[in-house]
Structure 1
């Protein structure tokens, strides 16, 4: 697709937003993973920024016939990542890789603990960056879960929290600079990918319905725990549903597992009903503590971006139709409203035992 037509898509989306109501903009923001501003102008700005990013991914998918996304949940002791691929003519993404790693055990000999030493951190993140490029295909986008901003004085911040924040920053920098450096080398194969800081709140709000009955007095702590438990439960349901062939649930499938992944999932389900996500991975000595929240978050971040690009593609198809402009805009917001309701129904389906 030539440049002017790409610009036309973004112009149409902006025109679509200009006369939209605040609730419509909020709905559109939700289905494409844009930040939700407090004013209509802010909403429009965030929508346009996200659409520009998604348009690059859409163009990449058109050129290659596929798109690959690798999403990471950063942690020193429990680093998790999920890698998925969406083919041009396939409605469901396929899981290519899914791992959890204790970075200290994997990249430091003699189980050395990472200290707040720039040389050690640099070496660790360099080794991690190289490891992420070992398997093909190279992702079209790397996403790293954004860590919470810390504004307190350093003596009030636990060292593990500092380490994770530093890890996120250096990993983001390494991934971007690896591409810049490689592409300056004459005759070297060119790298073309994007790096994105992925908002955990947007991912969580997309997948998890808040529990309204949470008591006000302990709302924050209980809602956080509920959200974590809900995400783990949701991923387990997505995983188990992916291997079933029952036509009544085929419409609720969100992802495909093939080959060895299918066998691992079936084995885990056959052993016990309440399986752990760790049970379906090829667990190694350097995989860290056997807990599921990091695996669930990396999986949902990756699946969220797959959903957002698919929703964006549907919106561009509506705007590229032969309908009148006003009707196109109406169809876009109807699509967004239907998508929200569809997702709520899907969440209710997965939340029923």
Structure 2
């Protein structure tokens, strides 16, 4: 008697091929999916991180199948403000998502991420509790304000998000030397936890009230997004040593910066967002990562032209009036990249899911070869894209929050007889593992045999 092979779930199929793959291959897959892999020794731990991360992406993939599109909203909370970005991807073929009994009959293909929203808003101006002058640490103030924020996020009439990513930790205030830095850190952490729990509890209430909510358009998924993983995804394979030596002189403070230095990370991300936007506007020849709606294209073209390259700020592009701070642009860049990261990770997961489930999730040597080849291809593609940011690192962005009181790196070549220069973060002193060109590839990644 012959028995039909039962289809494995997407996660089980992925886990099976991860077990068969080498540690080196799983490192490459972790890079492409945005899961934690740096400083992890055991293959089983890398695999567990991949699977845990992909369980979120699988929920997002199912929402995409259900609605033929998915909208991801990313949020960075501050003391008095919050930044937000919103992206959408769509199924390219409405007929390729026939879903019967969890069996996807055809492989999914999706559009490039479409930018829907990108903004910085004032918490107190929009969500201040009644009869209060500011949001304090009092439980009533914080609970009422965050509840109003959750209502704002979940009751939008157009382009309501299916996935909310709340970015943390927020290093800006942790590195601050301001007298009220402890209160700022505490308040931001409370905001993050309250927003996550409020969104989660609202969803739980919907599930109790309507048991089928999980399959309805009203269901959404709130998650905590590790900002360090976002930075690693966009920056860790960027070659920096040659361009820093050329731009600032070999042996200078700038040329000795390591990739985890906030100054260098900030500069890479700022230049990267400019590069992505300019590519979407067809000003830059880089690989286009984002599609702009007509409204956003008109809005950005007003400020970004070939004459303003290198001088425009994100605050200007979004129409902010009054005093502009460099941290505004940094926060806008961070939330933009966080939203785009989840879109990139979801697209990668969809592609890898298409591979591992191509034979109903059952193992074949041919599929394992495809799996391995895809992981190497994605890592190389990410590395090639990040190389395009290096030529822009002829200038570095300021990072006021930490360099005023931070010590110099271990370098005495440019003290200029005690003249005060820009000081760099102590984080620059402990980073290791750079290759000869300055990218943060793990030094053993090409030597590993298992």
Gaps of 5+ in 1: none
Q: What is the SS of the residue equivalent to 1:268?
A: coil
Instruction: State whether structure 2 residue 117 is matched by structure 1 residue 82.
Output: no
Instruction: State whether structure 2 residue 308 is matched by structure 1 residue 307.
Output: no
Alignment of structure 1 residues 158-237 onto 2, 5 Å: 158-185=182-209, 191-208=218-235, 209=238, 211-212=240-241, 223-237=261-275
Instruction: State whether structure 2 residue 239 is matched by structure 1 residue 239.
Output: no
1:141 counterpart residue number: 163
Larger radius of gyration: 2
* Cα gap change, 1:82 to 1:156, in 2 (>3 Å): closer
CA deviations on 1:209-240 (whole Å, 9 max, x unpaired) are 27457979986797111101211111111111
User: By how many angstroms is 1:351 displaced?
Assistant: 3.4
Instruction: State whether structure 2 residue 70 is matched by structure 1 residue 58.
Output: no
- What is the TM-score of this pair, normalised by structure 1? 0.86
What's the C-alpha RMSD, in Å, of the aligned pairs?
A: 3.3
Instruction: State whether structure 2 residue 139 is matched by structure 1 residue 118.
Output: yes
Q: What is the SS of the residue equivalent to 1:158?
A: helix
- What is the TM-score of this pair, normalised by structure 2? 0.68
Q: Do 1:182 and 1:188's aligned partners in 2 also have CA atoms closer than 8 Å?
A: no
User: By how many angstroms is 1:104 displaced?
Assistant: 2.0
* Cα gap change, 1:148 to 1:298, in 2 (>3 Å): closer
* Cα gap change, 1:111 to 1:120, in 2 (>3 Å): closer
Equivalent-residue separation in structure 2 for 1:210 and 1:73 (angstroms): 28
User: By how many angstroms is 1:268 displaced?
Assistant: 0.7
User: By how many angstroms is 1:26 displaced?
Assistant: 1.1
2:335 counterpart residue number: 298
Equivalent-residue separation in structure 1 for 2:259 and 2:234 (angstroms): 19
User: By how many angstroms is 1:286 displaced?
Assistant: 12
User: By how many angstroms is 1:272 displaced?
Assistant: 2.4
Q: What is the SS of the residue equivalent to 1:137?
A: coil
Q: Do 1:103 and 1:286's aligned partners in 2 also have CA atoms closer than 8 Å?
A: no
Equivalent-residue separation in structure 1 for 2:141 and 2:323 (angstroms): 18
1:129 counterpart residue number: 150
Say which structure is richer in helix.
Answer: 1
Q: Do 2:239 and 2:387's aligned partners in 1 also have CA atoms closer than 8 Å?
A: no
Q: What is the SS of the residue equivalent to 1:269?
A: coil
Equivalent-residue separation in structure 2 for 1:341 and 1:330 (angstroms): 17
Equivalent-residue separation in structure 1 for 2:220 and 2:368 (angstroms): 31
Q: What is the SS of the residue equivalent to 2:111?
A: coil
Q: Which region of structure 1 is more displaced relative to structure 2, 177-186 or 196-205?
A: 177-186
CA deviations on 1:54-94 (whole Å, 9 max, x unpaired) are 11111111121111100111212331010111001143011
CA deviations on 1:290-346 (whole Å, 9 max, x unpaired) are 721111111111111111111111111222335971121221121121111111211
Gaps of 5+ in 2: 1-5, 93-109, 245-251, 393-450
User: By how many angstroms is 1:110 displaced?
Assistant: 9.6
1:104 counterpart residue number: 124
User: By how many angstroms is 1:113 displaced?
Assistant: 3.3
Q: Do 2:33 and 2:349's aligned partners in 1 also have CA atoms closer than 8 Å?
A: yes
